[in-house]
Structure 1
């Protein structure tokens, strides 16, 4: 009878050195799989597939620290050009922020081209409503909410909160959202010239759809993180979004992270890979500065 070799623990620093070349060159999906293998949710309270709507993708996973009460509560929205991606690939986000003391939901949403704008934004608002309703039961604060997204998910996060329509329609009090975190998001571009046009209505225009055209004056503070070497989402998106927020009098911080690209700016949220850049640190500092006390 053969015996299986015991599972060996790989130190985080060694894991980081071994996988850094992969993360720099691989697809986002492969990078996410690699990151998820490096983390454990032991000691956290994890509730999978919490339903927030009728569609098969209207589900989210909630990661919560133990023994917290009224903790900042974060809704994270994945990227993928509105056509791909899933919550399973972002376990590392839930784990990382839960270890920082925050109740964190990682959501799926309906995908294009079958579901075009605003369906995925409406999904984010609906997920936030359910997360708010459940927050106290898992140690979170229903009026201590943050919305965060990467790439297409950054668009969803910002649009959900700055456009007064979506929270109102979902029944989420605007005052309950303390801040928005956009990571490499396309907030201001003419989608008609890109393959992502299939995520938006035929005949739609940027003026009708882009978040930088929809800023309400009572929107909460924003943190816009930009990767210096991003060749997927141009930095001009964050510049335009920052300008629109400032015109409306909304507090905003735009930070360019050196050496990072569209994939590694998100990978740096994972605790084993914080040496890549300051993504995780800046997110925590922003939440700490704006959380309800």
Structure 2
């Protein structure tokens, strides 16, 4: 069993900047989860993750699912600003629950996977995504779980240009700085990458390249390849691919608890 409610975490956009919280009624796991939806940064919503959030809440995890401002009305780095504020709010929730503030795992799909990965790449001294309301500059998650993530913005896709506000050719340095692949320094939290080998939106090749670069940098990274699976498969707990993903997540979380 669980209780659920919704809060606004940023007054500048009370429609999109909202979080759904799912609080278990039983003893809490020591790690909480923050889900970030996909949709090419221009569609989708926090409700997409409800079934998965409920699955983990029923197993003792304090769980949150966040929305954020959407392109093309709001362009990069607005979405980074929003998820940093959302992470700040979930860390506050952890404190209220008696959990360690830093033990929040970020989980995202596609562009939400991108945002989860970017949270892991931004250190407290960086200005990217900083707004007046961001008081806690340490917004790196305890671990990161990415379903079919966008790991590089060098995709030459219209939805990426709408998110960035211009083409790669005229904004090359910004594109590179905004890509998780090119921000790996070492010291990032552990990653779990869930990727279908029939994905034509975010390719297995790109995800493998990201995984390998994490390993070279000394970062713990696991790659779970789902055969015959396309893009955006993660929003649920009923299909074979979703079941395999959830089992991989449970194993990953078990290891994080033991850290």
Question: CA offsets per residue over residues 237-277 of structure 1, 9 Å max, x none?
Answer: 2122113212321111112012322133x04x42x335754
What is the TM-score normalised by the length of structure 1? 0.77
Question: CA offsets per residue over residues 84-118 of structure 1, 9 Å max, x none?
Answer: 00112321121012123211110100000111111
- Residue in structure 1 matched with residue 165 of structure 2 by the alignment: 201
Match of 2:223 among 254, 262, 272: 254
Question: CA offsets per residue over residues 115-155 of structure 1, 9 Å max, x none?
Answer: 11111122111101011001243464422110110011000
Match of 2:191 among 212, 222, 246: 222
1:1-293 → structure 2 map (5 Å cutoff): 43-48=1-6, 50-54=7-11, 55-56=13-14, 57-69=16-28, 71-138=30-97, 140-164=99-123, 165=126, 169=130, 170=134, 171-173=136-138, 177-202=141-166, 203-205=170-172, 206-264=175-233, 266-267=234-235, 269-270=236-237, 272-274=238-240, 277-291=243-257
What is the TM-score normalised by the length of structure 2? 0.86
Cα distance change of structure 1 residues 167 and 287 upon mapping to structure 2, 3 Å threshold: farther
* Inter-partner Cα distance in structure 1 for 2:33 and 2:46: 14
Instruction: Give the count of matched residue pairs.
Output: 246
SS at structure 1 position matched to 2:215: helix
SS at structure 2 position matched to 1:216: coil
Question: CA offsets per residue over residues 4-28 of structure 1, 9 Å max, x none?
Answer: xxxxxxxxxxxxxxxxxxxxxxxxx
For the 8 Å contact 2:34–2:65, the answer to whether it is kept is yes
Cα distance change of structure 1 residues 157 and 118 upon mapping to structure 2, 3 Å threshold: same
Structure 2 alignment gaps of length 5 or more:
none
Higher helix share: 1
Structure 1 alignment gaps of length 5 or more:
1-42
